[in-house]
Amino acid sequence: MNAKKTNWLFTSIIALNVLVVILAAVSPDGLSLGVIPALLLSQLMIFGPAVLFLLFTRTKPSDLIQMAKPKWSLSLLVVLITFLIMPLITAVNALSMLFVENEVTNMQALFLEAPGWLLLLVVGFVGPFSEEAVFRGVIYHGYRRSGRLVAAMILSSVLFGLMHLNFNQMSYAIVVGVIGVLLIEGTGSIFYSILFHATINTSNVIMMLLQDPESASMDAAKTREMVESLMHMPYREAMSVVCAVYIVIACVTTSLAGCLYYFILKKEGRAEHVRLLFAKEGKSAVCEKNQRIWSWPLLISIALCLVYMVAEIALIK
């Protein structure tokens, strides 16, 4: 599976999502689903096209999705790295909230209609498994074969962000994508990328479930009012302060996460592997020839995502 075919895979995922949005808009019932069926459908629209592409291109999943037997010690280190990265994710989220609404906050009330254990299962495990398998497994490694490792990491992460179809989630999804790729290359297994993603999602669901019902059911407008009341300043100024605080915290915690990551590289004997992957002279070690990553279907898909996200903001306003 090369970069051109990978572009078509992303195009098919976006086309399927757009088709469902159109069907929902023209349907008399609006294709109204419960929160759990809706979440499962969203994952099926990601995972399904990837499975079909692997079948059509006659690609073995093992050729693109690296998997190794998990190690308890390594798993604990990855979980620790995850918690150290969370301030960075929060800072990016807060920065995006200066310009757009927090999409997860807007959906909290719907999420809490589902049983807690089922929400944990779908959001905490099903979602990370399917998204990592597709974006860090199939799509990243499809681009990785081009030999442009940094471009493959950044592009697959940006596409992962665009897949969420809103600027708020896109902002921190890109960070999650980059860290996920680094964990795969640093450990040799997608299991740790899934663990990283699952730890983030599970932590967020648990915090949501532990909130008092009144706070959890607040929409974005009520959340803004609460922030202004607590911090005694306009919302944008308050979020700027929150963002600045978390950026300072993130500088420290992300540095510690980097140290732990380097420890993992040394422990697993992959420090040289990662160095060569991202060094220009190491390109020949991972591919036979450099390939162009972008193509017109990809550019059209990216443009379609951006138009959709801008239109959604315009309609809300």
Question: Over the chain (317 residues), what is each successive 10-residue block's mean pLDDT?
Answer: 88 91 71 82 95 92 86 97 97 92 80 89 96 96 87 95 94 97 96 98 92 67 77 85 94 98 96 84 48 86 94 78
Give pLDDT, residue 26. 74
The distance in angstroms from the start CA to the end CA of the chain is 42
Instruction: Give the per-residue pLDDT at 282.
Output: 47
DSSP code for 284 = G
Q: Is the dihedral of CA 20, 26, 27, 32 positive or negative?
A: positive
Q: What pLDDT does 214 receive?
A: 66
Place of tokens 């700027």: 240
For residue 220, the model assigns a pLDDT of 67
DSSP 71: -
pLDDT of residue 284: 45
Residues 6+ apart with CB under 8 A from 203: 83, 86
* Residue 238: partners with Cβ closer than 8 Å, 6 or more residues away: 227, 228, 230, 231
What is the pTM assigned to this prediction?
0.92
pLDDT for residue 289: 53
Looking at residue 39, its pLDDT comes to 92
Q: Are 145 and 291 in contact (CB under 8 A)?
A: yes
Residue 83 to residues 67, 198, 269: CA-CA distances in angstroms? 23, 12, 24
